[in-house]
């Protein structure tokens, strides 16, 4: 039931962020009239594209096409475009397009949102008809949204280049409206609220030199508001507004230092910006009883997720929604069982702390100090022993940070599994519609899988545990050198016809009955866990990761990253955990049913 509830939750989120999740072709209506489409609607870089003749047949445009350009003449304006050019001319004025017009299956298709905005139409997704509807009159106050983003952030940001970019398009039937107020709400996340009655969309850019967050609000009129000066805040210095163009209000949050952020649309209108927690200092300390703890300074207590790695033995602590405000470091400490301490900005929203240890260690409960700051005691022993220790000393069972025990220790004892996160480093793998790199998805699922296997007593070897390039020939060699029993490669899929294929499939070494049985078992469990379409298992004799070793080997293609719906799932940490749980369940079942 817990897993079913989680899947239902993600389907609910998907229905909000990107509601189109039907296998059937998406319909298009203009008012109540269904458009007769020759081909299925196309999405390019998160933008729906429709044929030009829709505007001629259903909205009264006079469409003219020449070798140099094409134009749509409406009663009050003329829109001029060119194939492959990301700009449009409207009555002599130039406007930037999110995506250029294209020739697809013999039809010229143009970005529907841009033209709808110019014509004062609203574009909504209608759940009842499973399609898009262009509204020429004002319907009830219903709001739908499509989502495009690049949230896996660049590590090395050049001056005046966005470190992180997010675009949300919220289609709403209301006319242009003003920015009513800018409110700095403060708090540990340094929250900012932009008071809007409604909005058509926004785009954000996190810039450096100087550090600032820029929010462009589309469809917002009126005059800029007076600047907001912020005092005694570690993140925000000031907030100012200005007109970017006729249709866009620009908000600039001047920052003390570049930091991650999250934008939350409010149900009744308006946007809330939450900046990350700030980690300003961290150190390892030991007391006279040879007990160890991490002491750190932060603006508030972050959520901490725990990962256990082997070869070498490491305790990984991921501080969620946290920005490292100091230099990253990797240094030898040689204090008791801790040999090295590494701290870095793992992703734009996660600060990673890695302790390389000579014996198992587990985090206990995070404590806030009266003098300021936080301390995280470290237990010398396994996670299960730490649970028992807390139960004994405090008289009740407590949860260790993000530790969800899957099985009793030792059930997979004696099993060595190589977990291979596909791609990495200079090889991003497939790139989704919203900019998601396959290498990031593969690594996240692989680390969760390794954690589950370790908790169950298995020995886990990673071909990579960071964003590093590893040759496809080196990966099976790692498994052979480790004397591994199983080789599990984690990937996300793609199709030649982008955005059409969906579901889960598992590849295995061809003509190897043991690999085939492993693939079939894992496929069954993954499909049951993630509830995506069950495509197939199939043998491959042309993959280097299979052919350069002899141990049972499979490659799990969890879902299709080039399908917009499945991309949103694959990038979500909760879904990644569910996928890892499914792979783990398959490995466990295969091992327990076939061990001698």
Q: Give the domain CATH number at 576.
A: 3.40.630.40
Higher-confidence residue: 98 or 167? 98
Residue 400 pLDDT more than 60? no
Q: How far apart (Å, rounded) are the C-alpha atoms in residues 350 and 259?
A: 11
- Based on the fold, state whether residues 99 and 14 are members of the same structural domain: yes
> What confidence tier does 252 reach under pLDDT thresholds 50, 70, 90?
very high
Of 225, 248, 275, the one marking the end of a domain is 275
CB 526 within 8 A of CB 506: yes
**Alpha-helical segments (H) within 395-456:** 438-455
Nearest to 188 by CA among 249, 241, 259: 259
pLDDT digits (tens, 9 = 90+) for 152-186: 222 222 333 344 555 444 434 344 457 889 999 88
Ranges 203-207, 375-379, 392-396, 473-477: which has the least confidence: 392-396
- Based on the fold, state whether residues 217 and 92 are members of the same structural domain: no
CB 450 within 8 A of CB 419: yes
DSSP 285-344: EE-TTS-EEEEEEESS---EEEEEETTTTEEEEEEETEEE-S--EEEEEEETTEEEEEEE
Residue 149 pLDDT more than 80? no
Supply the pLDDT for residue 392: 67
Supply the pLDDT for residue 408: 44
Residue 561 pLDDT more than 60? yes
- Based on the fold, state whether residues 344 and 356 are members of the same structural domain: yes
- Based on the fold, state whether residues 324 and 456 are members of the same structural domain: no
Q: How far apart (Å, rounded) are the C-alpha atoms in residues 292 and 141?
A: 56
- Which residues neighbour 63 within 8 Å (Cβ) at sequence distance 6 or greater? 52, 53, 55, 56, 70, 71, 72, 73
Supply the pLDDT for residue 128: 57
Residue 261 pLDDT more than 80? yes
Range of the domain at 562: 407-596
CB 196 within 8 A of CB 307: no
Mean pLDDT of 305-318: 86
- Based on the fold, state whether residues 590 and 449 are members of the same structural domain: yes
- Based on the fold, state whether residues 357 and 413 are members of the same structural domain: no
Residue 148 pLDDT more than 80? no
Residue 542 C-beta-side C-alpha neighbours within 13 Å = 1
- Based on the fold, state whether residues 389 and 477 are members of the same structural domain: no
> What confidence tier does 13 reach under pLDDT thresholds 50, 70, 90?
very low
Residue 56 pLDDT more than 90? no
Phi-psi region of 351 (alpha: psi -120 to 50; beta: other; left: phi over 0): beta
> What confidence tier does 311 reach under pLDDT thresholds 50, 70, 90?
confident
Q: For the whole model, what pTM was predicted?
A: 0.42
Supply the pLDDT for residue 552: 95
Ranges 193-197, 335-339, 521-525: which has the least confidence: 193-197
- Based on the fold, state whether residues 432 and 519 are members of the same structural domain: yes
CB 80 within 8 A of CB 88: yes
Mean pLDDT of 387-397: 61
Of 220, 249, 275, the one marking the end of a domain is 275
Mean pLDDT of 298-315: 84
Higher-confidence residue: 189 or 478? 478
- Based on the fold, state whether residues 325 and 414 are members of the same structural domain: no
Supply the pLDDT for residue 157: 29
Residue 251 belongs to domain with CATH number: 2.60.40.3500
pLDDT digits (tens, 9 = 90+) for 413-466: 889 999 999 998 877 888 887 778 899 999 999 999 999 999 888 999 999 988
Residue 99 pLDDT more than 90? no
Q: Rounded to whole angstroms, what are the CA distances from 122 to 34, 118, 201?
A: 16, 10, 12
Supply the pLDDT for residue 573: 86
Supply the pLDDT for residue 287: 80
**Mean of the per-residue pLDDT values of the chain:** 79
Supply the pLDDT for residue 213: 92
Higher-confidence residue: 146 or 277? 277
Residue 27 belongs to domain with CATH number: 3.30.457.10
- Based on the fold, state whether residues 454 and 388 are members of the same structural domain: no
Tokens (6 digits) for 124: 């909504």
Furthest C-alpha separation in the chain = 84
Residue 519 pLDDT more than 90? yes
Of 366, 385, 405, the one marking the end of a domain is 405
Mean pLDDT of 71-87: 87
Supply the pLDDT for residue 425: 80
- Based on the fold, state whether residues 439 and 449 are members of the same structural domain: yes
- Based on the fold, state whether residues 71 and 131 are members of the same structural domain: yes
- Which residues neighbour 208 within 8 Å (Cβ) at sequence distance 6 or greater? 157, 158, 159, 160, 161, 163, 258
> What is the number of structural domains in the chain?
4
Mean pLDDT of 269-287: 87
């Amino acid at each position: 039931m817990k897993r079913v509830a989680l899947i239902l939750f993600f389907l609910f989120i998907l229905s909000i962020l990107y509601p189109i999740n039907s296998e059937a072709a998406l319909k298009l209506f203009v008012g109540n009239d269904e458009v007769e489409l020759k081909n299925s609607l196309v999405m390019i870089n998160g933008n729906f594209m429709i044929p030009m003749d829709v505007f001629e047949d259903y909205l009264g445009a006079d469409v003219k096409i020449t070798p140099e350009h094409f134009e749509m003449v409406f009663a009050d304006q003329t829109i001029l475009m060119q194939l492959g050019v990301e700009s449009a001319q409207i009555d002599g004025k130039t406007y930037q397009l999110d995506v250029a017009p294209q020739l697809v299956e013999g039809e010229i298709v143009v970005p529907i949102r841009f033209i709808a905005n110019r014509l004062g139409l609203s574009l909504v997704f209608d759940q009842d008809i499973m399609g898009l509807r262009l509204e020429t009159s004002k319907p009830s106050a219903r709001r739908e949204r499509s989502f495009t983003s690049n949230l896996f952030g660049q590590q090395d940001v050049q001056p005046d280049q966005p470190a992180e970019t997010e675009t949300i398009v919220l289609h709403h039937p209301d006319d242009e409206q003003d920015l009513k107020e800018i409110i700095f709400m403060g708090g540990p996340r340094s929250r900012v609220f932009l008071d809007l009655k409604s909005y058509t969309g926004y785009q954000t850019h996190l810039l450096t030199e100087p550090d600032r967050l820029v929010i462009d609000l589309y469809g917002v009129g009126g005059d800029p508001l007076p600047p907001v000066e912020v005092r005694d805040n570690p993140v925000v210095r000031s907030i100012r507004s200005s007109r970017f163009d006729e249709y866009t209000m620009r908000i600039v949050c001047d920052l003390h230092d570049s930091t991650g952020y999250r934008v939350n649309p409010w149900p009744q209108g308006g946007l809330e910006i939450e900046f990350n927690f700030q980690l300003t200092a961290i150190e390892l300390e030991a007391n006279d009883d040879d007990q160890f703890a991490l002491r750190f300074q932060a603006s508030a207590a972050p959520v901490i997720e725990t990962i256990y790695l082997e070869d070498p033995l490491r305790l990984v602590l991921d501080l969620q929604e946290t920005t490292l405000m100091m230099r990253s470091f990797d240094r030898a400490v040689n204090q008791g069982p801790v040999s090295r301490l590494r701290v870095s900005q793992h992703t734009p929203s996660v600060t990673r702390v890695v302790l390389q240890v000579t014996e198992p260690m587990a985090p206990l409960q995070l404590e806030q100090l009266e003098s300021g700051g936080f301390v995280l005691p470290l237990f010398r022993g396994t996670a299960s022993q730490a649970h028992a220790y807390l139960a004994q000393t405090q008289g009740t069972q407590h949860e260790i940070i993000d530790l969800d025990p899957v099985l009793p220790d030792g059930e997979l004892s004696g099993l060595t599994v190589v977990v291979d996160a596909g791609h990495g480093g200079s090889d991003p793998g497939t790139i989704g519609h919203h900019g998601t790199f396959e290498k990031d998805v593969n690594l996240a699922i692989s680390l969760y899988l390794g954690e589950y296997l370790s908790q169950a007593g298995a020995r886990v070897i990673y071909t990579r545990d960071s964003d590093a390039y590893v040759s496809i020939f080196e990966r099976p060699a790692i498994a052979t050198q480790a004397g591994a029993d199983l080789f599990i490669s984690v990937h996300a899929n793609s199709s030649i016809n982008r955005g059409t294929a969906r579901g889960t499939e598992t590849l295995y070494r061809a003509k190897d009955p043991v690999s085939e049985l492993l693939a079939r078992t894992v496929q069954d469990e993954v499909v049951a866990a993630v509830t995506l379409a069950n495509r197939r298992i199939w043998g491959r004799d042309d993959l280097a990761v299979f052919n350069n070793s002899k141990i049972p080997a499979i490659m799990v293609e969890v879902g299709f990253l080039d399908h917009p719906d499945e991309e949103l799932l694959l990038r979500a940490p909760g879904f990644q955990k569910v996928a890892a749980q499914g792979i783990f369940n398959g490995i466990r079942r295969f091992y327990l049913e076939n061990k001698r």
